[in-house]
Amino acid sequence: MKYDYLVVGSGLYGAVFAQQAKALGKSVLVIDKRPNIAGNVYTENVEGINVHKYGAHIFHTNIKEVWDYITKFAVFNRFTNSPVANYKGELYSLPFNMYTFNKMWGVVTPEEALEKIEEQRAEIKGEPENLEEQAISLVGRDIYEKLIKGYTEKQWGRDCRELPSFIIKRLPVRLTFDNNYFNALYQGIPVGGYTKMVENMLSGIEVRLSVDYLENKEELDRLADKVIYTGAIDAYFGYKLGNLEYRSVRFENELLDKPNFQGNAAVNYTDRETPWTRIIEHKWFEFGKDENGNDLSKTVISREYSSEWKPGDEPYYPVNDERNSKLYEQYRNLAKNEKNVIFGGRLGEYKYYDMDAVIKSALDMCEKELKK
Ligand code: UDP
């Protein structure tokens, strides 16, 4: 049979589209090159712990439409992200808030903290032109040197002066004692794991796993009137204009026979020398309990190493610097000529999307595509 839509990739963008299309009576086939659904939000249960196999995913949003949508497919717990920064054994609270300023400078009141920041940000004259200048103008040089520079250079493999300033604007700066990493009205982790949530979204929809679209493109294209492509846009075009750059991540997972390794879901190693960027201790996303509410006696940790993407690696983060943004625009022009293909998601749009923004962008696309 011929389907209305072939959805390439079962991550959030693909799952939202497939779910909405099915709900409107369209026929949909979802394929994924991996042996499992859920893309990079995939979680795998190890000893009762939902392990975020492709890195920590903490759902947060200010968009009520997105929250109302996603909570149809999972119950979310009350997890609030409060990472700890470890700089050569000194621990700091993140994001940058009164606890951080107190530890860094001994200041006690918001006024004292602001005074320190203003004194240090004075070195930046005019509009910040790169991540370094942006960071110093947000929180001053001390915090830049201890909590931002090393981490960012490990994470992006580039000098902070060569990175766009928007990356650091993702982090809040607060003159209150508030360790919540996100400025979001809604936040949490789906109880039972993200894989289960995506499974619920794809309920009743045909899914074929371990199918590589680009390797069988002609044959698969014949199966449907239209394609929703959520893979890398440069890969779709055989890299013919050159590679877009991505950062990739490698995880070293360990199951430890102890109940508590670091006392927090995320600890960032913000010095330059420690080779990993952060360590995730997955059980704390669900308060150290299994699905029945019992304490878990073991723990799983993942050390996260950042690297430059090369063919064969998984792409994670688009590098939205000038060269790549220009190249992406050229690919986008090619994409416009592919009349029966819609490109979407972090890889399809080469955009540093958070989960909620991906869902929003998919819902908006559905509105245009399915309800016309
Ligand atoms: N960042 C930092 N120090 C930290 C955490 C983050 O300098 O301890 C900077 C870094 O440049 C990073 C950016 O903030 O790329 C965004 O961090 P976020 O935690 O939002 O990244 P993600 O969770 O998407 O990897």
CB 124 within 8 A of CB 118: no
- Token pair for 217: 């493109």
The pLDDT of residue 321: 86
Active site residue 215: no
Return the number of other C-beta atoms located less than 10 Å from residue 1's C-beta: 6
Three-state SS for 282? helix
Q: Ligand 1 pocket: which of 52, 57, 155 to mutate (most atoms <8 Å of CB)?
A: 155
Phi, psi (deg, nearest 5) at residue 295: -65, 140
CB 41 within 8 A of CB 58: no
Active site residue 269: no
Residue nearest to atom 14 of ligand 1 (CA): 168
Residue nearest to atom 10 of ligand 1 (CA): 152
The pLDDT of residue 231: 98
The pLDDT of residue 320: 85
C-alpha distance from residue 171 to each of 68, 148, 215, 236 (Å): 25, 11, 39, 33
Pocket flag, ligand 1, residue 195 (CB < 6 Å): no
The pLDDT of residue 202: 98
- Token pair for 345: 């998601």
The pLDDT of residue 1: 77
Q: Which atom of ligand 1 is nearest to the CA of 155?
A: 15
C-alpha distance from residue 263 to each of 203, 290, 294 (Å): 36, 17, 17
Q: Which DSSP letter does residue 284 get? A: G
Q: What is the pLDDT of residues 40-67, one digit of tens each?
A: 999 999 999 999 999 999 999 999 999 9
Pocket flag, ligand 1, residue 139 (CB < 6 Å): no
Let me know the angle formed at the C-alpha of 41 by 289 and 274, rounded to the nearest 5 degrees: 80
Q: Ligand 1 pocket: which of 90, 167, 321 to mutate (most atoms <8 Å of CB)?
A: 167
Q: Which domains does the chain have, with CATH numbers?
A: 3-78+186-244+318-370 (3.40.50.720), 99-107+116-168 (no CATH)
Active site residue 278: yes
Report the predicted TM-score, pTM, of the whole model to 2 decimal places.
0.96
- Hey, CA dihedral for 51, 54, 60, 63, is it positive or negative? negative
Pocket flag, ligand 1, residue 155 (CB < 6 Å): yes
pLDDT along the chain (372 residues), means of 10: 96 98 98 98 97 98 98 98 98 98 98 98 95 97 98 96 91 96 97 98 98 98 98 97 97 98 98 98 97 96 97 92 95 97 98 97 98 79
Pocket flag, ligand 1, residue 266 (CB < 6 Å): no
Q: What is the pLDDT of residues 292-324, one digit of tens each?
A: 999 999 999 999 999 999 988 999 999 988 899
Pocket flag, ligand 1, residue 270 (CB < 6 Å): yes
Active site residue 174: yes
Residue nearest to atom 20 of ligand 1 (CA): 170
The pLDDT of residue 114: 98
